[in-house]
């Protein structure tokens, strides 16, 4: 078995193959620069009602974190630029993680921490961001969350000195004091590069149709690569891709942490802002905003990527959830919201979400510790829930707290006992949720969606390269999985990535060994799925007969 693979953006590619996360992710930024916003509980209800499954906040407000618990929404929390000086102290950051993150995780699915905002535009914050990020990673490591929560800092598109054509994309050398340490950090920690892209501000240099994803044909061809572009968003994003490639040989994933379109301006005025003199704010309208964001969502979720990265998952956050009446700057800055403060829609926008019609059972964050402990003891004892994954060194032991452990045990019992309300009672300490509470390599089992009840075993996207390689070597060696089809020129050799090869081998072993939880463990580096991961001529066999 070959021991060397190219692990380059294997995660998005495999997700496309699995088809349970085909295309990209679209979330929303929840800015709070206003004095008339609804309560956190009302916001929680609003985002659930509109099927918004990914949310970014700019701080770590405990009321917001609590309101988003046990509903499956993935959350990016933030650190204000004004707080970066405090984050130079490791003890302060340790305390912040202990008090602002750990009490809510994993009931609140915190996936990312953004440290600062557009720090290259703020001389006071620029040199503080990366040391603060390192302290955050160190603090996460101490509580067993390193790798499960990614850390980055969103930059503005202005960090590029050149963006046209996209292949000439390059970072502005004047920001090297930040970019050098930042890119080293992202590479070391396998964290994403986060950037804010606003094609709206490119209208002066491009047609409105090109900015609104409405061009029926190519708007230009990159003379260096031959890539054809039909919209400005892809051109801007690929310019960032090429700028990163010039600095780092290993691909760094990108998250677009802000993009959007204003619904109101000052009435046809030119924007008197640096580098925005060509933008006429008469383009700020409800119709244009609806068109841009609707077409953006369609583009992100159709799985086409960008011309330079067609196989990569797009992850984009739309700015902003609400209009913010206290935001500084021209009128358009206060009118990017999808909703008015009274929670009426500014315009109708349909989010794809990730709902499946399935349900899980988790511990209520309102339950007392004594009631939860009694319920957990019953579930893992007389209730015969499988709690082996909660043992030390197993995939669901961390975070080592009562709510997390009880949630896993409750769900195991619930799935085995008919998914009834009674099976999720636990004396009033359990609640049914409709979004997957799984995190990292800790998978909350769920009744199979396959019409025949089949399941498959694939490699976890959260597993480290070394762990996957060791597990793959074992599966194809002592484990006696049939790995002949992932050899060169065979049906499952492509894509030639460690994640794809390990997934095929893991499934072969899993099916041959009873399709049990134990046979899909691989020391926490594999997960069970209930949608067939086969693709093309590569068939992931199920229900072997011997």
Among candidate residues 74, 187, 258, 331, the one labeled active-site is: 258
- Whether residue 452 is predicted with pLDDT greater than 60 in this model: the reply is yes
Q: What is the mean pLDDT of residues 499-518?
A: 89
Active site residue 118: yes
Report the sign of the C-alpha dihedral through residues 5, 9, 14, 16, in that order. Answer: negative
514 phi, psi to nearest 5 deg: 90, 0
Contacts of 213 (CB under 8 A, 6+ apart): 230, 231, 233, 291, 292, 295, 296, 298, 299
- Whether residue 1 is predicted with pLDDT greater than 60 in this model: the reply is no
- Whether residue 254 is predicted with pLDDT greater than 70 in this model: the reply is yes
- Whether residue 141 is predicted with pLDDT greater than 80 in this model: the reply is yes
CA-angle at 408, arms to 404 and 411, nearest 5°: 135
- Whether residue 345 is predicted with pLDDT greater than 70 in this model: the reply is yes
Average pLDDT of every residue of the chain: 86
Q: What is the mean pLDDT of residues 419-429?
A: 86
Q: 449: pLDDT confidence band, cut at 50, 70 and 90?
A: low
Which has the higher per-residue pLDDT, 403 or 454? 403
- Whether residue 202 is predicted with pLDDT greater than 70 in this model: the reply is yes
What confidence score (pLDDT) does residue 6 get? 25
Q: What is the mean pLDDT of residues 232-260?
A: 94
Q: How far apart are CA 174 and CA 176, in angstroms?
A: 6
What confidence score (pLDDT) does residue 294 get? 92
What confidence score (pLDDT) does residue 226 get? 95
Give the tens place of pLDDT for each residue, 157-196: 999 999 999 999 999 999 999 999 999 999 999 999 999 9
- Whether residue 538 is predicted with pLDDT greater than 60 in this model: the reply is yes
Q: 109: pLDDT confidence band, cut at 50, 70 and 90?
A: confident
What confidence score (pLDDT) does residue 464 get? 81
Q: Please give the DSSP secondary-structure letter assigned to residue 56.
A: E
CA proximity to 295, closest of 215, 394, 236, 414: 215
Active site residue 485: no
Place of tokens 């511990």: 363
Q: What is the mean pLDDT of residues 105-128?
A: 91
Q: How far is CA 42 from the centre of its chain?
A: 23
Of the listed ranges 140-144, 455-459, 529-533, the one predicted with least confidence: 529-533
Tokens of 368: 């007392």
**CA 119 vs CA 130, 196, 388: distances in Å:** 10, 12, 45
Q: Which helix H or strand E contains 29, and what residues bound it?
A: strand 25-30
Among candidate residues 118, 312, 324, 398, the one labeled active-site is: 118
Give the tens place of pLDDT for each residue, 425-438: 998 898 877 667 88
């Amino acid at each position: 078995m070959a021991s060397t693979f190219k692990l380059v953006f294997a995660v998005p590619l495999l997700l496309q193959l699995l088809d349970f996360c085909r295309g990209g992710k679209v979330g929303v930024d929840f800015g709070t620069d206003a004095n008339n916003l609804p309560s956190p509980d009302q916001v929680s209800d609003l985002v659930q009602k509109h099927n918004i499954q990914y949310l970014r906040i700019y701080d770590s407000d405990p009321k917001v974190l609590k309101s988003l618990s046990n509903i499956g929404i993935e959350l990016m929390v933030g650190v204000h630029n004004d707080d970066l000086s405090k984050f130079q102290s490791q003890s302060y950051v340790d305390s912040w993680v202990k008090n602002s993150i750990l009490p809510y995780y994993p009931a609140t699915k915190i996936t990312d921490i953004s440290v600062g905002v557009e720090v290259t535009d703020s001389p006071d914050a620029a040199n503080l961001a990366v040391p603060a990020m390192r302290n955050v990673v160190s603090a996460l490591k101490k509580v067993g969350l390193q790798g499960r929560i990614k850390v980055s800092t969103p930059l503005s598109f202005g960090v590029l000195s050149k963006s046209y054509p996209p292949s000439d994309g390059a970072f502005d050398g004047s920001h090297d004091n930040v970019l050098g340490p930042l890119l080293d950090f992202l590479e070391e920690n396998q964290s994403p590069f986060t950037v804010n892209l606003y094609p709206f501000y490119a209208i002066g240099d491009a047609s409105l149709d090109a900015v609104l994803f409405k061009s029926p044909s190519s708007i230009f061809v990159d003379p260096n690569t031959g890539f054809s572009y039909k919209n400005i968003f892809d051109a801007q994003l690929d310019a960032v891709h090429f700028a990163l490639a010039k600095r780092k040989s290993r691909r760094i994933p990108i998250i677009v942490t802000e993009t959007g379109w204003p619904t109101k301006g000052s009435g046809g005025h030119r924007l008197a802002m640096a580098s925005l003199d060509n933008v006429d704010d008469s383009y700020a309208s409800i119709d244009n905003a609806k068109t841009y964001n609707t077409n953006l969502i369609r583009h992100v979720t159709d799985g086409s990527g960008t011309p330079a990265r067609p196989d990569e998952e797009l992850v984009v956050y739309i700015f902003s959830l609400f209009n913010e009446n206290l935001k500084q700057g021209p009128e358009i800055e206060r009118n990017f919201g999808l909703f008015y403060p009274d929670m009426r829609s500014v315009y109708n926008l349909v989010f794809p979400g990730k709902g499946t019609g399935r349900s899980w059972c988790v511990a209520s964050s309102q339950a007392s510790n004594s009631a939860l402990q009694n319920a957990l003891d019953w579930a893992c004892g007389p209730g015969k829930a499988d709690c082996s994954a909660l043992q030390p060194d197993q995939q669901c032991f961390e975070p080592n707290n009562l709510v997390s452990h009880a949630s896993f045990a409750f769900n195991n019992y619930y799935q085995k006992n008919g998914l009834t309300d009674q099976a999720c009672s636990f004396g009033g300490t359990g609640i049914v949720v409709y979004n997957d509470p799984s995190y990292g390599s800790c998978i909350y089992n769920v009744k199979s969606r396959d019409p025949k009840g089949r399941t498959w075993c694939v490699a976890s996207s959260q597993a480290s390269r070394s762990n996957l390689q060791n597990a793959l070597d074992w599966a194809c060696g002592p484990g006696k999985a049939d790995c002949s089809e992932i050899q060169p020129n065979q049906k499952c050799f492509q894509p030639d990535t460690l994640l794809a090869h390990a997934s095929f081998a893991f499934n072969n072993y899993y099916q041959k060994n009873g399709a049990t939880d134990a046979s899909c463990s691989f020391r926490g580096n594999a997960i069970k799925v209930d949608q067939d991961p086969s693709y093309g001529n590569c068939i992931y066999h199920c229900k072997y007969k011997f």
